């Protein structure tokens, strides 16, 4: 089983080795800013790509949290599209396996269909040089990817675009639990909609089912049934990234916990 973790961006290769992980996920720059991607690895983008390839370590990049291509607010949507393209380009330059991005949301009084169409426009406007993995989110009644029917709306909208085959799905277990999606069936439910699960963010949840709260916990230390958590990972049959609290020691423990239960 391929289990990696979200790590600091300064030296992802050293972080992967500390966890004996086959791949890692990280940000490129500020996850809360519009400044654009930056490479903090000492060797820059070219060095990171070459060193990761030499070490046999896969790289995933998480787009900034503030990216929201679904919104009707031009002051957010237009910069978000620009930022998305910048991170696609940056992630591709280091040979990343995928760029993970949250589904975003529309405003309270907006028709969700407008958000779905904005996703279509974003896919058509972006040069996808690598797989773009849309992630389910935990909270918000106006979110594009909290509820299954909203995920279906996004997928229906983008399915006719030329680059639809470059768009994949990242299933977050904490987000699914906190978002009110039954873990007993979530893998089948998502596969019926998207046809694919490309990555699993395996996280326990500090909060109750359908709480809408995005607060991760170490595996076995939260409110998600341990057997269900393991079953989701097993059934999804995709690479895993831990986004649980702590550093290398905690991630190694979480990976061991998960392997013991699969």
Task: Give the start-to-end residue ranges of the domains of the chain.
Answer: 3-261
Per-residue pLDDT, 250 = 98
Under the banding of pLDDT at 50, 70 and 90, the label for residue 72 is very high
Under the banding of pLDDT at 50, 70 and 90, the label for residue 180 is very high
Residues 227-234: what's their mean pLDDT? Answer: 98
Q: How far apart are CA 233 and CA 171, in angstroms?
A: 9
β-pairing, 167-172 vs 132-135, is parallel
Residue 117 has pLDDT above 90, yes or no: yes
Under the banding of pLDDT at 50, 70 and 90, the label for residue 176 is very high
Residues 84-101: what's their mean pLDDT? Answer: 98
Among residues 227, 113, 224, 246, which one has the least CA distance to residue 172? 224
Residues 62-84: what's their mean pLDDT? Answer: 97
Residue 174 has pLDDT above 90, yes or no: yes
Q: What is the overall mean pLDDT for the chain?
A: 97
What is Dmax (Cα atoms) for the chain? Answer: 51
pLDDT above 70: percentage of residues in the chain: 100
Per-residue pLDDT, 192 = 98
Identify the residue with better confidence: 223 or 1: 223
Residues 93-104: what's their mean pLDDT? Answer: 98
Per-residue pLDDT, 1 = 84
Residues 25-41: what's their mean pLDDT? Answer: 96
Q: How far apart are CA 196 and CA 188, in angstroms?
A: 10
**Which parts of the chain fold into alpha helices (H)?**
12-19, 44-55, 74-93, 112-125, 148-158, 173-178, 186-194, 226-236, 248-261
pLDDT tens, position by position, 238-261: 999 999 999 999 999 999 999 999
Residue 168 has pLDDT above 90, yes or no: yes
Residues 90-119: what's their mean pLDDT? Answer: 97
Q: What pTM was estimated for this model as a whole?
A: 0.98
Q: How far apart are CA 262 and CA 247, in angstroms?
A: 23
Per-residue pLDDT, 222 = 98
Q: CATH homologous superfamily for 3-261?
A: Divalent-metal-dependent TIM barrel enzymes (3.20.20.150)
């Amino acid at each position: 089983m391929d289990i990696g973790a979200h790590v600091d961006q300064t030296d992802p290769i050293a972080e992967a080795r500390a966890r004996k992980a086959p791949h890692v996920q990280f940000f490129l720059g500020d996850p809360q800013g519009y400044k654009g991607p930056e490479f903090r690895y000492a060797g820059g983008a070219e060095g990171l790509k070459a060193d990761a390839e030499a070490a046999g370590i896969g790289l995933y990049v998480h787009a900034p949290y503030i990216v929201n291509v679904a919104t009707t607010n031009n002051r957010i949507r237009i910069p978000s599209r620009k930022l998305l393209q910048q991170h696609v380009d940056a992630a591709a330059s280091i040979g990343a396996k995928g760029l993970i991005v949250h589904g975003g949301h529309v405003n309270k009084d907006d028709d969700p269909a407008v958000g779905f169409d904005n996703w279509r426009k974003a896919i058509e406007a972006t040069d996808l040089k690598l797989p773009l993995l849309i992630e389910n989110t935990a909270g918000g009644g106006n979110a594009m990817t909290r509820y299954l029917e909203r995920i279906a709306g996004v997928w229906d909208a983008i399915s006719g675009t030329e680059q639809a085959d470059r768009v994949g799905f990242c299933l977050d277990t904490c987000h699914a639990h906190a978002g009110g999606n039954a873990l007993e069936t979530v893998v089948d439910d998502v596969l019926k909609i998207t046809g694919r699960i490309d990555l699993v963010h395996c996280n326990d949840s500090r909060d109750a089912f359908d709480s809408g709260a995005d607060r991760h916990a170490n595996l076995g230390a939260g409110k998600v049934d341990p057997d269900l958590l393991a079953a989701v990972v097993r059934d999804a049959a995709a690479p895993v990234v831990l986004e649980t609290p702590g550093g290398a020691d905690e991630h190694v423990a979480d990976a061991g916990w998960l392997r013991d239960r699969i």
